[in-house]
Amino acid sequence: MSNSKSNRIFSNYLLVVISISSVLFFLSSFTFFVLNSNKIIDDFKEKIPVVVFLNDEASDVEVSQFEKKLSIDSNIKKFVYTSKDDAAVKFSSDIGENFVDFLGYNPLLNSFDIYFYSESVESLFINEIVKSFESEDFINEVSYDAPLIFLINDNFKKAQNWVLYIAIFFILISIILINNTIRLSIYSQRMTIKTMQLVGATKFFIKKPFILTQLKLGLISAIISSLLFVSVVYYINSNYFQIDLLLIKNSFLISIAIAFILSFLISIISTNFITSKFLNSKIDKLY
């Protein structure tokens, strides 16, 4: 085999691996997102705080009793107390100057950041909680992002339906792209396929090496896409968004498994179909 032909075949195989790896990576990522959409939304809900600001006159006993009330409430996931001095230090760091020295006093208030479990984060329930907090004499103000809570709960079901439709569409696109990539790879060897048929080789004998080659390329592509997928999840987990890997391990494995299974199935079916098409074509139509 000449060097130019070997280089051409290697280039074709490299193109197949790169193309399929890219498609499988995005498919794994999207599958992972779909399987964890509920967890992502729940985690987002549980990071929306209700901030309770206390009067300066609030006594230690009142603050202590309020803490106990929060700690026994089954709807509350956690709460964080921030003193006015700590808040001043953080705010000064954010704006880059000591505003307390400039004003001559600290206008901030002691506060509690209260986080609720996701099932409790709905506008009606939060409104009731806020009213109960505001009824306390030692509480100055209660603040929370009501529009955001309403937006999440109102559009969650709609988003789920759209995600499902997009997932189906994306899977179909993935199948088409991988099939076309394999088609282009085998097309360059169409004359070899026909020559083998003309010298008496059976269809199975001709198809077998092509199917095995595409399976190997599919396996390599699936491994590359899986390594890339794992790396991206690890990077996001380390730098941007803390993910409890134990909670999502099943969806993690399913996303990778789907990439391998889809790669193998499409490789076998597409290669068999494409080689059959060339075998059944007249030789003058292959030019």
pLDDT of 237-256, one tens digit each?
Answer: 777 666 666 667 788 888 88
Beta strands in the chain (DSSP E): 50-54, 76-82, 111-116, 139-143
Same domain, 60 and 199: no
Percentage above 90 pLDDT, the chain: 7
**What would the two tokens of residue 207 be?**
């198809």
Q: Is residue 1 predicted with pLDDT exceeding 80?
A: no
Average pLDDT score over residue span 108-137: 84
Mean pLDDT, the chain, as a whole number? 80
In the prediction, which pLDDT does 80 show?
92
Least confident range from 134-143, 189-198, 269-278: namely 189-198
Task: Tell me the C-alpha distance between 213 and 263, whole Å.
Answer: 13
Question: Which residues, in sequence order, are bridge partners of residue 111?
Answer: 53, 82
Question: pLDDT tens for residues 219-235?
Answer: 888 899 889 988 888 88
DSSP per-residue codes, 4-42: HHHHHHHHHHHHHHHHHHHHHHHHHHHHHHHHTHHHHHH
**What would the two tokens of residue 26 be?**
């995005």
**To 10 degrees, the CA torsion angle through 130, 133, 137, 139?**
-80
pTM above 0.75, yes or no: no
84: domain CATH number is 3.30.70.3040
In the prediction, which pLDDT does 112 show?
92
Element (DSSP H or E) covering residue 43: helix 37-45
Closest CA to 81 of 58, 63, 65, 96: 63
In the prediction, which pLDDT does 192 show?
75
Element (DSSP H or E) covering residue 153: helix 146-187
Same domain, 278 and 206: yes
Instruction: Give the domain extent around 278.
Output: 3-42+153-286
Task: Tell me the C-alpha distance between 251 and 37, whole Å.
Answer: 11
Same domain, 132 and 72: yes
Q: Is residue 149 predicted with pLDDT exceeding 80?
A: no
**What would the two tokens of residue 258 be?**
């789907």
**What would the two tokens of residue 60 be?**
């230690």
In the prediction, which pLDDT does 243 show?
63
Least confident range from 29-33, 107-111, 133-137: namely 29-33
Least confident range from 69-78, 79-88, 224-233, 270-279: namely 270-279
Least confident range from 48-52, 197-201, 242-246: namely 242-246
Number of domains in the chain: 2
Domain boundary among 144, 170, 205: 144
Average pLDDT score over residue span 46-59: 88
Domain boundary among 110, 126, 144: 144
